[in-house]
Structure 1
């Protein structure tokens, strides 16, 4: 079964008729390390799931890259502005490893939402989950120490340290590499 369809099924029931339409709408690609899913200013309105690999999302501020999230296997991802509003992305999404992913265009997804209540419910549940993740990230940045944020990353993504450069992790945590090194020594 396609990994994206399998993930959708975690949010609700998908009758055979809908699954057949999803199969026709979902595409798959493999990108090499360093390639981009999208760059700031582009409109790539697709929801995607990584089967194997890893991505990062980052912004550029004062010629500095600021990592906002990492996308691991079996998580639904996308850039909000292009996906929901057909507006240019404000972020960059770059592959940190050679990655195979499966994606569906927002147009196809919206057609399925409009046509099938089951898909509309799945979309709502995904959006709710995304809101919770954003709320947790905001709370973490506002209320936790750098060490607590680092430990949370290790708890929720134990393989992150082996797969992501320390520079990217420091940027994600909002600290310098030197501070990250001190935290890691503890």
Structure 2
């Protein structure tokens, strides 16, 4: 089954007509390590799921890359501002591994919502999930120290250190690589 349809089904039921229509609008994309899905200033309003591979979201501050999130297999991914508000992206989305993904544009998804109003419940559930994810990240950044954020990261993503370099992880946690090494030595 198409990985994107499989993920969408986690947010609600869909008729065979909706599934068939979605299938015709989803694109399979193959990207190489270090390729970009989105760069700051672009509008790429797509929702996607990775079948195999890994991405990171990051932005630049004072010419320094700041990692804001990582995405891996079987997760719905997209840049919020372009997807929901049709605004240019503040972030970059870059592939950390050779990646196979399945993508649908906002326009195609909106067409499905118009044609099948019952499918809007799935879209609402996705938006709720994204709000929850973002609020948890904000709370983490504002209330937890680096060690707590590290503990949370390895609890939720135990294989992350095999797949993502320490520089990217340190940036995500908001610490230097040296501080990350000290934190890791305590665990």
Q: Same fold (TM over 0.5)?
A: yes
Deviating beyond 3 angstroms after TM superposition, the runs of 4 or more aligned structure 1 residues are: none
- Aligned partners of 2:102 and 2:36: how far apart in 1? 15
* 1:158-186 deviation digits (Å, cap 9, x = unpaired): 11111001000000001111110100111
Gaps of 5+ in 1: none
SS at 1:67 equivalent: strand
Structure 2 gaps, min length 5: none
| Secondary structure in structure 2 of the residue aligned to 1:89 | coil
SS in 1 for 2:43: coil
TM-score, normalised with respect to structure 2: 0.97
What is the aligned partner in structure 1 of residue 112 from structure 2? 112
- SS of 2:88's partner is coil
Deviations 1:50-98 (A, max 9, x none): 0110000000010000000000110101011211122211100000000
Partner in structure 1 of residue 66 of structure 2: 66
TM-score, reference length from structure 1: 0.98
Equivalent-residue separation in structure 2 for 1:128 and 1:52 (angstroms): 25
SS at structure 1 position matched to 2:59: strand
How far residue 43 of structure 1 moved from its aligned partner, in angstroms, is 1.1
Residue-pair matches, total: 186
Which residue number corresponds to residue 90 of structure 2?
Answer: 90
Displacement of 1:115 after TM fit? 2.1
